[in-house]
Amino acid sequence: MATFEPVLLRNVGVEGARTLKVYESRGGYQAVRKALGMSPDEVVEIVKEANLRGRGGAGFPAGVKWSFLPKDRTHTLLCVNADESEPPTFCNRVLMESDPHQLIEGTIISAYATQSQIAYIYMRGEFHEQFHILQKAIDEAYAAGYLGKNIFNGDFSLEIYIHRGAGAYVCGEETGLIESLEGKRGWPRIKPPFPAVEGLFRRPTVVNNVETLSCVPHIIERGADWFTGIGPSHSVGPKLFCISGPVNKPGCYEAAMGITVRELIERDDMGGGMAPGKRVKAVFPGGVSMGVLSAEELDMKMDFDDPRNYSLLGLGTAAAVVIDQDTDMRIVLRNMARFYGTESCGQCTQCREGTAWMHKIATRIAAGAGRLEDLDLLLETARNMGMMPGLSICGLSDGATYPIETIVKKFRSELEEAIRSQPAGRVDRVLQVLN
């Protein structure tokens, strides 16, 4: 196996990497100088040629999204999605706290390409330390003339502001983020119009996440061919992978896409294998909303295509959480249902009601009062939710159903056995408490 050279994480662990001085000493802000010597359309074309697909979960090509902007627009806005509310994802947090100028440089180039005059970084409200680190880096960039009016003594001007969120999972969806930025409740908007036509403050708007924009300087510096030469043809470029749970080395790692879940867990330079005495029972490989894998499915490739072969929603955020053999899947089922029942914004009836009912049913099962028909009821509820049946404004309904549906289908025998072994009379006693 060829040795992979870290790109996005190359400055992590370098002393002083958060500062402008050290970032520039390691080649920082050279890509933006190169980009400003091109036309905005040329920058867009390079990103399109690189086939940079969004790293926030959907995997939509960034350059194609930029090209949706109206040609006759007079004012454009860029929103950087730093909300990162998908459990158990923390790769954006690592980038912002370890190498903030990389994000700033990527934001400047992307703003130039889209001709955005203002960029808003929508940051997860719980990122207290990361906010101060990034704000300090922004202040350094302003002082150096890299932000503000006529940056790098050229004709392009850009202002960057950090907006801190209020802890709503649904604001990770781009129109929910836009509503929150406008000071309103974070409810996703009905589309069309799409943000590229009518977004923040009803102006053409581009929304990309932190990891996506952090790739842009490297594409400009090294070229589209370099980027497309990393990973499989349908999932190119460097990618950050998170892993948490009972592994020896939980953390954030960088590799080419196409590595397997098993490699992510077992490789010495990644998860380092399971903790002593632990075995893999299940893995949520892309953040919990993508669904779960059984221990027999660990050879799934971490790319944009292969997860669908395992009945998953997609790659998602490529953040894996490992479940060990001692974990009761009834508790996992309840925790998933509780999270999405809490985080549904309530705007769509089937999501508001469906997530609530899945939570009630999963709670009953976890409390030892489950019925065998509850498993089919969970699957029926899941089938009647989401954008795929055409019932939802945003993708939260789909994200809420995939973990429930895949747990029930892939661990049904365990759930049925637990239900059958419940103590006699337990159902009636628990139902009295729950009701």
Confidence of residue 166 (pLDDT cuts 50, 70, 90): confident
Report all structural domains of the chain as residue ranges with CATH numbers, in order of start.
20-228 (3.40.50.11540), 238-324 (3.10.20.600), 329-434 (1.20.1440.230)
What is the distance between the alpha carbons of residues 53 and 63, in angstroms, rounded to a whole number?
8
Structure tokens at 240: 């950050």
**Mean pLDDT (whole number) for 44-64:** 93
Q: What is the mean pLDDT of residues 38-54?
A: 96
Report how far residue 435's alpha carbon sits from residue 421's, in angstroms, rounded to the nearest whole number: 22
CB atoms within 10 A of CB 83: 28
Q: Give Cβ neighbours of residue 426 (< 8 Å, ≥ 6 apart).
A: 368, 369
Residue 1 — pLDDT band, cuts 50, 70, 90?
very low
**Strand pairing category for 280-284 and 293-294:** antiparallel
- Which tokens hold the place of 191? 């589309």
pLDDT at 433 over 80: no
Tokens of residue 140, six digits? 């350094």
Is the pLDDT at 292 greater than 60, yes or no?
A: yes
Between 418 and 424, the higher pLDDT residue = 418
This prediction has a pTM of: 0.93
pLDDT digits (tens, 9 = 90+) for 215-269: 999 999 999 999 999 999 889 999 999 999 999 999 999 999 999 999 999 999 9
- The pLDDT value recorded for residue 177 is 96
Rounded Cα distance between 30 and 67, Å, is 25
First to last CA, the chain: 58
